[in-house]
């Protein structure tokens, strides 16, 4: 089970022109912000990335507005793990449990998750927090990530896993996000 003390939330490439093409994008703009808000309440660090923002655009406002205290990691590699700035920041946080949301499930999310698992991190993919342009690409991406060794979760499940109990001091605040 993942704990808030050992987890880090990674939000991959939820940005501009690419986001507009996503399958179920309306759902993502509700799920990912809730994940970020819960992570912040529970002191889980959040990292977010942008793939070639000069071409694709910046992080969507509903997410960027929650992350004003940090700048996104700009990358051109599909896997975040092949970006030196990302690996440096990941190392700085020292967390070994990585919770992943973002786009696209079959490209950047898949390659990042595969690399993280290969490097020995525990990885959970938030299935209701990832997407691709086509539904079948999401399905294939999730299948391949699971085959690589990642676990599948959903936003509410990982948030409750981070709290571990209704006695958690932030329980009521978190429940307002979930309900």
Do the strands 73-75 and 97-103 form a parallel or antiparallel pair, or are they unpaired?
A: unpaired
| Active site (catalytic) residues | 13, 75, 108
Partnered with residue 101 across adjacent β-strands are 11
Would you state the structure tokens that stand for residue 124, as one six-digit string? 């959970």
Q: Using CA atoms, how far apart are residues 125 and 101, in angstroms rounded to an integer?
A: 6
Entry field: residues in the chain: 179
Judge contact between 80 and 49, C-beta under 8 A. Answer: yes
């Amino acid at each position: 089970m993942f704990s808030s003390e050992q987890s880090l939330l990674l939000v991959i490439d939820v940005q501009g022109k690419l986001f507009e093409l996503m399958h179920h994008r309306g759902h993502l703009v509700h799920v990912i912000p809730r994940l970020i808000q819960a992570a912040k309440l529970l002191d889980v660090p959040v990292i977010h990335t942008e793939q070639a923002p000069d071409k694709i655009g910046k992080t969507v406002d509903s997410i960027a507005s929650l992350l004003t205290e940090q700048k996104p990691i700009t990358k051109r590699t599909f896997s975040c793990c092949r970006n030196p700035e990302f690996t440096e920041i990941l190392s700085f946080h020292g967390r070994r449990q990585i919770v992943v949301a973002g786009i696209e499930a079959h490209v950047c999310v898949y390659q990042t998750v595969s690399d993280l698992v290969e490097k020995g991190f525990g990885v959970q993919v938030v299935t209701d927090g990832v997407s691709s342009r086509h539904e079948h690409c999401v399905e294939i991406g999730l299948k391949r990530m699971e085959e690589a060794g990642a676990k599948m979760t959903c936003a509410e499940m990982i948030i409750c896993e981070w709290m571990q109990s209704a006695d958690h001091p932030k329980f009521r605040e978190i429940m307002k996000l979930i309900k």
